[in-house]
Amino acid sequence: MKHFQFTKFQIAVHVGSLIPLAYLIFDIVTGNLSVNPIQDITFRTGKAALVLLVLALAVTPINTVTGFRQVIKVRRALGLYAFLYAAIHLFIFAFIDYGLDLRLIWLETTEKRYIYIGFAAFLILLPLAITSTKGWQKRLGKTWKTLHKWVYLAGCLVVLHYAWVQKSDIRQPIVFGVIVVLLLALRIPRVRRRISHWRGRHFSSRKRRPATSKPDMLETSV
Ligand code: HEM
């Protein structure tokens, strides 16, 4: 039988990722949602999905900048939790809010174009979630890495979706947008090399594996 062993950091990430869901269920059960409960749930699941997606995107840059390798081990979990919240978000919209009335959903979508953008992001996240296992990584080989780079496009689309929903006050979407752009910049090979070099010079006494060295399975720097 497979023996699972989690580090304290991994446990903290799992617990932290499930807190918004637990909090949401608690508020539903105790009738603590706002006057528009469906919108409340849509917002909260959307926000949780966005935050977790950005955290998943931050994993490789955090490893590059700090050399903290444990963070790589939680990337898959963060990505899958982001997908879980996005799936609940979509479920609430399509099944609960619109009773899966495709005509009504179509009418709403043609009126509110941000739904296309959210849907596009979801369609990118879906194959990434399915192929996130070690088995798929082995099967796809190099294609796996290329496929999983699409997560950045998903991140950009979600920020656009969020900004479009907010319309008047887009301060928060801008903050998320800046973070995604910065994380993208930190992935540019030249920038990464410079940071690794700088880290090597300043922290060379600590024997950490450089971010550019050969990664383990599911630790590939996507
Ligand atoms: C088919 C896919 C999607 C649909 C149909 C959809 C639909 C919606 C709807 C209807 C709203 C609320 C708008 C309002 O009531 O004014 C919303 C908000 C939002 N959605 Fe989505 N969405 C989708 C995908 C996603 C994905 C994949 C993410 C994140 C990974 C996401 C993140 C958000 C965020 C952050 C908000 C705003 C929350 C807030 O203002 O606090 N959405 N979405």
pTM score, whole prediction? 0.90
Greatest C-alpha distance within the chain = 64
Is 214 within the bounds of a domain? no
Is 130 within the bounds of a domain? yes
- Full domain range(s) for residue 179: 8-196
Using the predicted structure, report yes or no on whether residue 211 has a pLDDT greater than 90: no
Cα 7 to chain centroid distance, Å, stands at 21
Is 111 within the bounds of a domain? yes
Q: How many whole angstroms from 47 Cα to the centroid of ligand 1? A: 8
CB 90 near ligand 1, within 6 Å:
yes
Q: Which atom of ligand 1 is nearest to the CA of 52?
A: 30
Total domains present in the chain: 1
Is 158 within the bounds of a domain? yes
CB 39 near ligand 1, within 6 Å:
yes
pLDDT, average across residues 170-185 = 97
Q: Is 57 left (phi over 0), alpha (psi -120 to 50) or beta?
A: alpha
CB 193 near ligand 1, within 6 Å:
no
Q: How many whole angstroms from 162 Cα to the centroid of ligand 1? A: 7
pLDDT, average across residues 81-94 = 98
Which of 120-124, 189-193, 201-205 tops mean pLDDT? 120-124
